[in-house]
Amino acid sequence: MVYCGPPSKGCSSCRDRKIRCDLKESSCGQCEKRQQTCPGYRNMVDLMFRDESSHVIKKAQAKQQRRRTAAAATTDSGRSPGGESAASASSSSSTAKSAATPATPTVQPMPLALLTRGAQLNNATSVQHRDGSRTTSRSRGAIKGSPSSTTSKTRSPVRDYSPLSESHTSDWPVAPPITRICSLAPSFRERGTAYFFSRYVTIDENALHQRFDFIYDIWKPGPATCDSQMDAVMASMAAVGLGGLSQLTHSKEIFSSARESYGTALRLVNAALKDPEEAVKDTTMLCVLILGVFEMMAGPGKITMKAWYEHINGAVVLAKLRGTSQLRTNAGIRMFNMLCQSVMIASMQKRAPMPPELISFQSELLSGSGTEAVSRGFSRIALSKPIFMMLQMRHDVHENLINGLDGMLGRLEAIDSEFTCTVGSFPAVNRFKVLHVTRPHRAVFRNHCHVYRSTAVSSIWNLLRVVHILELEFVLTTIQRSFPDVGEAGEGVPAHYLRRYCKAWTDLQSVTDAIVASVPQHFGLLNLTSPYFDTLKPMEASLSLSDSVTLLTTVVKRPPNRVVPSPPSSASSASATPPLPPDDWAESDEYQPTDLNELFFDDGGPTLENPTRARSDGEEAARLMLLASSTNGLVWPLFCVGTSSVCTPLLKAYVVERLNAIYDETGLKQASTLASIVRNRELIKSPWLRLPTRLISTLSMEVAV
């Protein structure tokens, strides 16, 4: 296609006169000189797309006419030698006939259809004259009375432009029969299944921490026919997929189809549970887990949460029936770990301990009976043991089974020691590297970040850190309740309790700092292959990685925090937390509550007693459902950091900004809702919070010695 230059931006009046338009606002100068209304300027974006339908139709019709004319000439030349006189007579008669009928025939436009070569319809091509009469020109059969009809059966090949019909011998591909049966329009089942696979199977691990990428190990799809029956796995996937589509499109019709598919899946699963052999199959457990996702997608509410709890209880009973045989395959181990995570959340809400059968299955799995690694190189490591201990203590506290402050702190000390032991048993390949940021970046808080082998490894670290925050916050809350009058410098608290408080405070700062440092990698900002100048510099005492790590700085913006330049000498320890500047607790104007009616004050961070900082049981259940249904592995850790006792206004602004960034990039509504909760929460400045920083530093140094 010949390039004709850029289109003119001038008004239509100037373009018609072929003069330059000065493109002045409201009206061009040429139109003002002529004292006429300027028609306005056209939108240049509209010129990027042109409707060439009529032009293409004309070209196609002209091409068809030329081919028909050539075919007719070839047919006339192949007639029997009846003499040139006959041909000339025929020619003269046709000339006279054409002179008598001056109307020029036009080809009747044909409807758009898939064309094949060699397909025959027993009709000729219709030609419509200008006078409205219709005649038939060039029949497929021989013209009656012509010599070719009696002496010659040879015809030149003529391309037939008939719609798709039964195929004949040709070099064109033959359409399979299934394309004639099934409609090309996707059904609700196909759309739901496609959405499920794109969102929960083939999605990258950075965007989803629980994937069903093992589904083909235990389930194979049936034949792709229109009348094929829907099995339980297909119905479950369609229900979850349509549920997700209904949230995106706000379509009641799609949501109704999702509920219908959900009901079908429930009936099929109940029928399978009645059969002892079908009940223990992997496909049955897979359906139960997928339907659990649908229960969480329905949104927080009393009916939904009750249905989800009952669903989890049924899954636990099913896991007991399956026994240790479910731990012999990789898919079985993955499903068991998914079930354990859901049971942990349900147990936290109900203030119940972990079911002993699942704990025994975990011990059996760690003992070496499984044929595959447990998770990302963490095999033979009891990752869930400190979490189980925390759930048991939450139950004991609720039932008043622990007496006295010393008994409470002793149990918490045991959980803290278990955390230290678990993290210490991690292999070197699954540890992180501390990198120092020399350029400001909006996604990096302060001047350092952590790099892990993968985001899946980072999610496992952050899961343990979240539970560790609950334990450390409970230590702070327990001591604060026991000694409400702390004094100006802590003189109202015994020294050993004050040391325990300060140790928990500094540990809490380290844990929250580690969570925040893992955020850049989850946003895809760390490149493990190509270095970019000296954006990131590794600190001296950090663990080494084989690949060089850099921070992409193509979208550097003003960070929400003040960047503190590092001293010339590197930190002496990779795990040491840099001291917070004194102005970190200054008031920040960023991300203040948008509505004063939504503002609420809080006196502490998330603890074993109140992990979501809710003001009622219903609010706690709703927040737990929000956290459990969030598919991004950063949402819960960031929420715990934003609601912790050591969260400064600057850190709170960073957490809110990152949660909103997750919502903007992934559309995860839970992230936006939790960002609003963090934004509208204000921490009461208690006497414990106003303890001098030098006192905490002094006591921390004494503990270290």
Calpha distance 178→454 (Å, rounded): 44
8 A C-beta contact, residue 500 and residue 475: yes
pLDDT, tens only, 9-35: 889 889 988 898 988 888 898 898 888
Least confident range from 148-162, 471-485, 504-518: namely 148-162
8 A C-beta contact, residue 197 and residue 245: no
Which has more pLDDT, 689 or 255?
Answer: 255
Query: Domain 1-41 carries which CATH code?
Result: 4.10.240
pLDDT, tens only, 194-249: 999 988 888 876 667 678 989 988 988 766 544 445 688 999 999 999 998 888 88
| The dihedral formed by the CA atoms of 248, 254, 258 and 261, expressed in degrees to the nearest 10 | -150
Helix (H, G, I), strand (E, B) or coil at 364: helix
What residue has token string 């039932």?
399
pLDDT value at residue 236: 92
Neighbours of 305 (CB within 10 A): 21
Calpha distance 89→418 (Å, rounded): 110
pLDDT, tens only, 453-470: 888 889 889 999 999 999
Band (411; pLDDT cuts 50, 70, 90) = very high
Domains of the chain by residue range: 1-41
What's the first-to-final CA gap in the chain, in angstroms?
Answer: 81
Q: What is the mean pLDDT of the chain?
A: 73
Map 519-569 to HEC letters.
Answer: HHHHCCCEECCCCCCCCEEECCCCCCCCCCCEECCCCCCCCCCCCCCCCCC
Asked if the model's pLDDT at residue 147 lies above 50, the reply is: no
Calpha distance 179→514 (Å, rounded): 56
Q: CA separation (Å) from 68 to 107, 113, 158?
A: 11, 19, 8
pLDDT value at residue 112: 43
Asked if the model's pLDDT at residue 367 lies above 90, the reply is: no
Where would I find the beta strands (DSSP E) of 70-124? 106-107
**In the Cβ-directed half-sphere of 71, how many Cα atoms lie within 13 Å?**
18
Mean pLDDT of 355-360: 90
Calpha distance 402→291 (Å, rounded): 38
> Which two structure tokens, joined as six digits, stand for 174?
């033959």
Band (83; pLDDT cuts 50, 70, 90) = very low
8 A C-beta contact, residue 205 and residue 161: no
- Phi first, then psi, for residue 159 (nearest 5°) are -75, 130
Calpha distance 497→238 (Å, rounded): 56
8 A C-beta contact, residue 209 and residue 160: no
> Which two structure tokens, joined as six digits, stand for 260?
């219908």
Which has more pLDDT, 387 or 165?
Answer: 387
Q: CA separation (Å) from 584 to 213, 600, 647, 693?
A: 44, 21, 9, 12
Least confident range from 444-448, 485-489, 532-536: namely 532-536
Band (73; pLDDT cuts 50, 70, 90) = confident
Which has more pLDDT, 222 or 92?
Answer: 222
Which has more pLDDT, 72 or 651?
Answer: 651
Which has more pLDDT, 348 or 174?
Answer: 348
Calpha distance 162→114 (Å, rounded): 8
What is the identity of the amino acid at 75? T
pLDDT, tens only, 578-606: 344 444 544 444 445 445 556 767 778 88
pLDDT value at residue 40: 86
Calpha distance 626→657 (Å, rounded): 18
> Which residues sit opposite 536 in a β-bridge?
437
CA 260 to chain centre: 24
